[in-house]
Amino acid sequence: MPILLFLSVALIAACGLIYELVAGTLASYLLGDSVFQFSTVIGSYLFAMGVGSYLSRYITRGLVARFVSIELMVGLVGGFSSAALFLAFAYTQGFRLILYAVVVAIGILVGLEIPLLMRILKNRLEFRELVAHVLTFDYLGALAASLLFPILLVPKLGMVRSALLFGIVNAGVALWSTYLFRDQLGGRPLLRASCIAVLALLGAGMAASEKITQAADNNLYADEVIFSRDTRYQRIVLTKWKDDVRLFLSSHLQFSSRDEYRYHEALVHPGLAAIPGARRVLVLGGGDGLAVREILKYPDVQSITLVDLDPEMTRLFSTHPYLVMLNQHSLIDARVHVINSDAFPWLQQTSDAYDFVVVDFPDPTNYSLGKLYTTAFYRLLAKHLSAQGLAVVQSTSPLFARQSYWCIVETLKQAGLKTYPYHLYVPSFGEWGFVLAGLYPYEPPLRLPGGMRYLSTALVPQMFQFPVDMLPVDAEPNRLNDQVLVRYYEHDWREITH
């Protein structure tokens, strides 16, 4: 009998510690600043336990029944604490308030447990023995919980289910107590029924835990998240809303499936259709395979080399059922060679020449990416163009980032290339710009491949006309040792967003 009793002491101690750890960890995850979160969670929890211990003096009669109801309450509040906090973060503005309310509530209830239990047991054991045993098992339970939590619970079960599991333990202890102390308690079928009801509720919570976390996750993005992965290089997130699939790389929008055809037709065809008999094509960036899909519309093209830094990206766009439908299995075409490498050093170590090069890098938001928009890079690019070769460069928005756009044009010129800037409207992006560059004069194509959804031969020459608010402005060329483009870009977009 005593050993079973003390086992339940260990169990409730473990539960108490787990709820505290859950609250502290969740607060650190969601709010950051782990030192602050853990300190304040521990502090308010311990303080609330003190309040609970103090309040225990007002409970005078029906100790066992009170103890059982307190266990049930701890089980309910603690068990659902993690789920409640996740949802509170996703759906309400008052996360901190709810966090500390939950911590204080659990603390008060846990603070009541041990004093009540000791009073229940006081007639069964000598006081000296009682204190020694209860506290020993209290600490043992805490030790077990503190080891289980980081090693097993967080990695295997996650926050939501760990809390629920220990809620079930609390309710189990309550049910068990009704048998353990039946001599003091009597029959009490109603109390047992409520134990079973709480257990059932927590069990149901356990079954629905997946849905709860997903609901919280989904609300953080505007649309339903269908894929999310952190790679060595970036975070890839795919969202879907009705028939619109969007790709975000490190939270920058890359395409929307509703209008990406505009972007990719305009990126590829004005250049490639103007090069008779182009055979070898290079794509730098563009791991989504959408530019490659357009290039594959040319039967004369014999080989397409795609260089993208992130293997996860090209693997995703070679295998994901929806995405291969979107890029029409372009990346697994026999003519396509995928190379996962950093574009600048890769280009430096190869001596191959290409008839057409698509340069589709992320915008120059930092000095690392800015290197891919420098005179040094474009000089190297020029060396890899065949005699009739052309390159097309994704060049951000000539409307929103006007000086950045014309800086890229100027940089290409400084690298000794002739430039042909053009633009179009892509609804999900706004006005967008490209630059064709080559060693020889360019003439818009007279024919385009079949199946165009946006382009026509009549439209292409019009894209080279710029309205007054997008006309060239003065800009320095972007050099490795003086990356003006990153500063222009930051300045341009700050103007828009403020």
Partner 1 sequence: MNSSRRQFLSAALVGLAGKTDRPVAGGFIDDGHGPGHQLRDRAQFAAAKRTVKIPIVIVGGGIAGLSAAWRLDKRGFHDFVLLEMADHAGGNARWGENEVSAYPWAAHYVPVPGKKAALVRELFEELGVLRNGVWEERYLCFSPQERLFLHGRWQEGIEPVTAATARDREDFARFAARMNEFRATGQFTIPMELGAKASPLDRISMEDWLKQERFASPYLHWYVNYACRDDYGVLAAGTSAWAGVHYFASREPDEKGPLTWPEGNGWITRRLLDKLSHHVHTGAMVQRIAHNGRKLQVSSGDTDYIADFVIFAAPSFLAPYLCDGLPPVRGLSYSPWLTANLTLDRLPAETGIETAWDNVVYDSPALGYVVATHQTLHTHIDRSVWTFYWALAQGSPADNRRLLLEKDWNYWKAAVLADLERAHPDIRQCVSRIDILRLGHAMARPAPGFLESDERHRLIAASGNLLFANSDLSGFSIFEEAQYRGVRAAERALVKLSR
Judged by CB, which is closer to partner 1: 42, or 208?
42
Q: How far is the CB of 152 from partner 1 (least distance, A)?
A: 14
Window of 132-140, 157-165, 206-214, 246-254 that interacts with partner 1 by CB under 8 A:
132-140
Provide φ and ψ at 92, rounded to 5°.
Answer: -120, 170
Q: Interaction with partner 1 in 358-417: which residues (CB under 8 A)?
A: 366-372, 374-376, 379
Q: Which two tokens stand for residue 58?
A: 């007002």
Radius of gyration, CA atoms only, the chain: 33
Residue 252, H or E segment: strand 252-256
118 vs 195: CA distance, rounded Å: 22
Distance of CA 207 to the CA centre of its chain: 24
Q: By CB under 8 A, name the one of 483, 488, 489, 492 that touches partner 1.
A: 483
Catalytic residue among 138, 355, 360, 492: 360
Nearest to 436 by CA among 268, 295, 261, 286: 268
Judged by CB, which is closer to partner 1: 13, or 267?
13
Note whether 319 binds partner 1 by CB under 8 A.
Answer: no
CB atoms < 10 A from the CB of 387, how many? 9
320 vs 270: CA distance, rounded Å: 30
Q: By CB under 8 A, name the one of 14, 19, 138, 437 that touches partner 1.
A: 138
170 vs 172: CA distance, rounded Å: 5
Q: By CB under 8 A, name the one of 7, 28, 188, 315 that touches partner 1.
A: 28
Note whether 42 binds partner 1 by CB under 8 A.
Answer: yes
Q: What CA–CA distances, in Å, run from 414 to 364, 373, 376, 410, 497?
A: 18, 12, 10, 6, 31
Q: By CB under 8 A, name the one of 188, 258, 418, 479 that touches partner 1.
A: 479
Window of 27-35, 72-80, 206-214, 264-272 that interacts with partner 1 by CB under 8 A:
27-35
b or e along 148-161 (b: 16 or more beta carbons within 10 Å of the residue's beta carbon)? bbeeebeeebebbb
Does the active-site annotation cover 230? Answer: no
Q: How far is the CB of 28 from partner 1 (least distance, A)?
A: 8
Judged by CB, which is closer to partner 1: 49, or 275?
49
Q: Indicate which residues carry an active-site annotation.
A: 360
Residues that bind partner 1 (CB under 8 A): 17, 20-21, 24, 28, 34-35, 38, 42, 46, 49-50, 53, 111, 135, 138-139, 142-143, 146, 149-150, 232-233, 309, 342-345, 348, 366-372, 374-376, 379, 479-483, 486
